[in-house]
Structure 1
């Protein structure tokens, strides 16, 4: 079995996590890599289906629901899945990019704009900031790599070096 790698991104709301993951995914896929993405919804506010549609009706029964079509397969689950279960469900990929899920034991890039929340240092191996952050105002531990949020190629290099085999 080929090696598969994972890395996580964390940061406050509106810090640029989703945009960064989109950019990183595109670069990795340009390099003929297969990419999978997990998005955490800690406040359970994401809406994935339209009220009244069949899949919405099925999910409201409490059952596990899979919707298949020629171009996609979607799982609607009432059960939280472990990283191992999700990795198994995803099947073939080279890189797994995870947004959120601070408790997962993965190398993590914390993303900040305007200010840095130092509480993220405990579970981050790198931080990525843009020019809106006065980085000299913060005491960044030497064990944490400092990355430029706008240098996506450098972010991808960091991921290729630090991602964990899963």
Structure 2
């Protein structure tokens, strides 16, 4: 797959998802096809309702359960023990997106990363020494390049120049 991939990282509650959802809305309004992959390293996200049929099928041991409805199709897959973003991108992305946005996966090397950090967090960058860190999305932090966390249009314009076809 020759699709541009970026990774948005940051500490818990730094504003990653809020920023990404605004960014996705902006990109979609300009006609881009976007795939988003959210990392849930602790497995806390609720993706199905206990007691429902799809939940029962997965609990019974199905390797994959697909729940198809008129407005969305959801797929539950038992991942390989050590799945990577590469595995997800190569095996699970459907269609032909213009951009794949990963949220999380800060430990995975080889993907351009943009760290979200807000003044109220009072911390240093998680990836300050990583060669994968390509920019910071912030309301105060001095890094080159920096993007205003309150102005996702600025970051979208950068993505259009640097990544999008």
Give the TM bin, normalised by the shorter chain: 0.7 to 0.9
Higher mean alpha-carbon deviation, 45-54 vs 105-114, is at 105-114
SS of the residue corresponding to residue 45 of structure 1 reads: coil
1:40-119 aligned at under 5 Å gives the runs: 40-63=39-62, 64-80=64-80, 81-87=83-89, 88-90=91-93, 91-102=95-106, 103-113=108-118, 114=120, 115-119=122-126
Number of aligned residues: 155
Provide the residue aligned with 2:24 in structure 1: 25
C-alpha distance after superposition, 1:11-63 (max 9, x if no partner): 00111100110011011111111111000001111111111000110111221
Q: Residue in 2 aligned with 1:11?
A: 10
Q: 4+ residue stretches of structure 1 with deviation over 4 A? A: none
**Secondary structure of the structure 2 residue equivalent to 1:159:** helix
Q: Post-superposition shift, 1:10?
A: 0.1
Q: Secondary structure at the match of 1:67?
A: strand
Structure 1: gaps of 5 or more residues: none
Q: 1:119 is paired with a residue of what secondary structure? A: coil
Q: Mark the CA change 1:95 to 1:44 in structure 2 (over 3 Å): closer, same or farther.
A: same
Note the aligned Cα RMSD (angstroms): 2.3
Measured in 2, the distance between the counterparts of 1:154 and 1:93 equals 21
- In the superposition, the TM-score normalised over structure 2's length comes to 0.82
Secondary structure of the 2:127 match is helix
- Compute the displacement of 1:84 (Å): 4.2
